[in-house]
Amino acid sequence: MVREISYAEALNEALREEMEQDDRVIVFGEDVGVFGGVYKVTKGLLEKFGPERVRDTPISEAAIVGAAIGAALAGLRPVAEIMYMDFITIAMDQLVTHAAKIRFMSGGQVCLPMVIRTQYSLGRVHGCQHSQFLASWFLNVPGLKVVLPGTPKDAKGLLKSAIRGNDPVLFVESGVLYSWKGPVPEDEYLITIGQADIKRKGSDLTIVAFSRTVREALAAADRLSAEGIDAEVVDLMTLNPLDVKTLVGSVKKTNRLLVADDSTKTGGISAEIISRIVEEAFDYLDAPPVRVNSPDLPVPFAQPLENQYLVNADKICEAARRMVH
């Protein structure tokens, strides 16, 4: 059976199902218990599983990630929440220097089954200190998986896989997607981490997207189709590990690459993706790859300015037309 539920409800189901199946799964973070999470992703978990497994924490991101590391080392499977991705900067030492390194430093003897959930609020008028999309920073952290679901179905399947895995996962959600509804199977399913998904097949160009930009890329592809441009949309879903095989296969078919990326342009995720394609499929390109990014600026607070800042379907269509014509 498939029904339509929201991105936030899909995440809630993933947490509830994994907690039901494995009593080592615990949840903690700011306001995740009594309040059910600022975005209601953890709604009802405290009532069902009790305060031993669902805990509110003080406002201390370093302590939250540090506690997750300790819990995982003690045999639990913690899912910790950092309310805004901006605040993960405070926990970088715990996440980057310690969590990502423990398997390597122990010679593979110690694994760290922990998930850090966070969200970025780009598109929600939350200002420059609550809207940053910082995922590209973590491409440079060996040992840390980085997952960014773009649909309710993917959000549930990927979170369940992340919880069952034995390595640390940074699970980045898009705040603007929490209320977006989509089809989600009722039956048990998992989605493999590290495998991209071709959301729409096409032949004229490849549009690579992830998280919030998946929706924009699909909308752009529909508009382009009406103009006679057949775009293929590849949803990466995971940034680390990166599914280079699927990317290369798509570009070999369409011969053009456009990346829709919420990162700021300099040092963004799009730069890494284009580098991989140039290394492995340069001879198949009929046009220079194009990236549609956020500008190299802090996110504006005023809504009209934030609307101009955002990667959207209009900008993707404009870039695609330039590539094809």
**Which of the residues are catalytic?**
130
Nearest to 116 by CA among 152, 75, 156, 159: 159
Please state whether the peptide bond connecting residue 241 to the residue before it is cis, i.e. omega within 30 degrees of 0: yes
Biggest alpha carbon distance in the chain? 60
CA-to-CA distance for 239 and 145, rounded, in angstroms? 8
DSSP designation for 99: I
Q: Is 245 helix (H, G, I), strand (E, B) or coil?
A: helix
Q: How far apart are CA 166 and CA 171, in angstroms?
A: 14
User: At residue 235, what is the residue type?
Assistant: D
Dihedral sign of CA atoms 28, 29, 34, 36 in order:
negative
CA dist 203 and 215 (Å) reads 19
With beta carbons less than 8 A apart as the criterion, state whether 248 and 278 touch: no
Q: How many residues does the chain have?
A: 325
How many Cβ atoms sit within 10 Å of the Cβ of residue 278? 13
**CB-based burial of residue 83 (10 Å sphere; 0-12 exposed, 13-18 middle, 19+ buried)?**
buried
Q: How far is residue 220's CA from residue 315's CA, in Å, rounded to a whole number?
A: 9
**What tokens were used for 68?**
């997750």
Nearest to 60 by CA among 79, 33, 83: 83
CA 290 to chain centre: 21
- Which three-class secondary structure state does DSSP give residue 142? coil
